[in-house]
Amino acid sequence: MKPLDTTWNGGSLKMKVKTKLKSLIFLLALLIGLSFSSQAEARQGWVLGVQVSGSIFLTNAVPDMDPGPGFGIDLQYRFNQRWALETNLSASFHDGRDAFENDSGIFLSLPTAELKLYLFGQESKVEPYVLAGLGIYVLTEGALNNNTGGVGLGGTFGAGLDYYLSDRFSLGFAAKFRPTALIQGNGASTGLINFATIISGDWHF
């Protein structure tokens, strides 16, 4: 009869335990990676949109401008469920008032770059966000040649939400404050605060 082997192969057992631990760690890492990836990919990629807006100037600057309509286009890249970067070109049209009654101007963003933080960590039909950014703003010289046009660097602060009609299309609603230090044609400077409400139609691709 073959004698019973009572020796304990400790090295072999350790190797088996290490192998199983490595397999378990790899499986956990794979599951976590897939979980994060599936969440991120649900709201990841490029977004192209067109927008209409209405805006007012909150300061009585030179020139003093009436509320006016506007339009624009925006291009956004959404990194994941939380973060996105958007750039947009827009124009709004304003008539002068009071002492600038016969004047007019076009307020342009050329362009802005805005960082968005989405408030929900999971995909939803309605996704609110807050935003902040910088932009180059231009106020064109109006009907009167009085050096009131100019260019300057400004900020953008606001909030909004995206309403998803489908995976490919959504409607956007936003409110933005855009304070700008404008250098005018005669070397003078003025401070503008433009407040805009925006509705957009967006295509996700």
DSSP structure string for 183-205: EETTS-EEEEEEEEEEEEEEEE-
* Alpha-carbon gap, residue 68 to 92, rounded angstroms: 6
Q: What are the backbone dihedrals phi and psi of residue 100, each rounded to the nearest 5 degrees, phi first?
A: -110, 30
User: What is the average per-residue pLDDT within 182-190?
Assistant: 77
Residue 110's pLDDT band (boundaries 50, 70, 90)?
confident
Q: List the helix and strand counts (H, then E) for the chain.
A: 1, 8
* Alpha-carbon gap, residue 92 to 195, rounded angstroms: 11
Q: Say yes or no to pLDDT of 38 above 50.
A: no
* Alpha-carbon gap, residue 70 to 105, rounded angstroms: 12
pLDDT the model gives residue 22? 64
- Alpha carbon of 41 to those of 16, 122, 129, 166: distances in Å? 37, 11, 18, 15
Report domain extents, the chain.
Answer: 9-42, 44-204
pLDDT the model gives residue 58? 86
Q: Say yes or no to pLDDT of 7 above 70.
A: no
For the structural domain made of 44-204, what CATH number should be given? Answer: 2.40.160.20
User: What is the average per-residue pLDDT within 49-73?
Assistant: 85
Q: Say yes or no to pLDDT of 104 above 70.
A: no
Residue position matching structure tokens 């649900």: 42
Residue 30's pLDDT band (boundaries 50, 70, 90)?
low
Q: By percentage, how much of the chain surpasses pLDDT 90?
A: 45
48 vs 108: which has the higher pLDDT: 48
User: What is the average per-residue pLDDT within 173-183?
Assistant: 92
Most confident of 8-17, 70-79, 99-108, 135-144: 70-79
pLDDT the model gives residue 140? 81
pLDDT the model gives residue 87? 96
Q: Say yes or no to pLDDT of 64 above 60.
A: yes
Name the DSSP class of 1: -
47 vs 65: which has the higher pLDDT: 47
- Exposure string (b/e) for 78-94, b if CB count within 10 Å is 16 or more? bebbbebebbbbbbbbb
